[in-house]
Chain A
Amino acid sequence: QVQLQESGPGLVKPSQTLSLTCTVSGDSISSGIYYWSWVRQPAGKGLEWIGRIHTTGSTNYNPSLKSRVTISVDSSKNQFSLKLSSVTATDTAVYFCARESVYSGADFWGQGTLVSVAS
C-alpha cells in the first residue's frame, strides 16, 4: 500500500520560508509513472493545488504561487519537498502531499500537516 507522510515545522514566522518534506513508501518516486504534488487547504476554504514534480525534475506550479514556490525531489530518499517563500498569514493551511497523474487524479494522499504563519 502506498503511503505518504508530510513532515516539517508547524509554525513559521511571517516573511520566512515554509519548508515541508513528503516521504513516500510503498512506491518508488524513481519509477517515473507518477507526479508528486502538494495541495493545501486554509481553514474554512477550498482545496488549492500548489504544484508537482516528476522524478526527472520537471515541475509545474500554480500560477498564483509560482513566484514563491519551489518543489524538489530526492529520489535516493524517496522524498520530495516544498518550499514557499515570503509567507504571510494567508499561507496558514493544512498542507497535503499526494501522488497524481493527469488522467487518474491524485490517488494517494498524506494525512496532512497544519502549518501556521505567525510571529
Chain B
Amino acid sequence: SFVLTQPPSVSVAPGQTASITCGGDNIGDKAVHWYQKKPGQAPVLVIFYDSDRPSGIPKRFSGSKSGNTATLTLSRVEAGDEADYYCQVWDGTGDHYFVFGTGTKVTIL
C-alpha cells in the first residue's frame, strides 16, 4: 500500500519558520494537499495541488515539492498554528484511493 511519511513532531519559536516534509514514492507525479487539524475540530485544507492556497488561508502557509518530497512551510508562526498537519495524495495507480500522511505535531515553543 502507498505510504506517506512525515516527521512525528516539529517545534518552532513564535515568529520563526517551520517546515514539514511528506515523502512517498512517485509523489512528484501526484497532487499533494495539506490539512491542519486541531483537537475537537474538523480538518482545514491549507494547501491544495502542491502549492495553492484556499481562500482565507494566510500567505504564511506555503507548499512546495521537489522529487519525492513535498514540504509545507509555515512562516512567522503564531501560537494559533499549533496543530497536527497531514499531507494527502491520491493513489491512482493501484487501488485508487486517498492516502493521508502519518501526521506531524507542530508545537510552538
Contact = CB atoms under 8 A, between A and B. Distances in A.
A109 interface: yes
Contact of B95 (A41, A47, A52, A63): A63
Chain B contact-residue range equals 20 to 34
B104 to A, nearest CB: 10
A48 B43 CA distance: 12
B63 to A, nearest CB: 11
Contacts, number: 68
Interface string A89-107: 0000000101010111111
A39 B99 contact: no
Size category of the binding interface on chain A: 20 to 34
A106 B43 contact: yes
Given A48-B100, A107-B54, A64 B43 contact: no
A58 B74 CA distance: 37
Do most interface residues of chain A lie in helix, strand or loop, or is the interface mixed?
A: strand
Contacts of B84: 46
Given A46-B102, A47-B86, A47-B103, A109 B43 contact: yes
A71 to B, nearest CB: 12
Interface of B: 1, 31, 33, 35, 37, 41-45, 48-49, 54, 84, 86, 88, 90, 92, 95-103
27 contacts: A37-B98, A39-B100, A41-B37, A46-B100, A46-B102, A47-B43, A47-B86, A60-B96, A62-B97, A63-B1, A64-B1, A98-B43, A102-B90, A103-B31, A103-B48, A103-B49, A104-B48, A105-B35, A105-B45, A106-B45, A107-B45, A107-B48, A107-B54, A109-B42, A109-B43, A110-B42, A111-B42
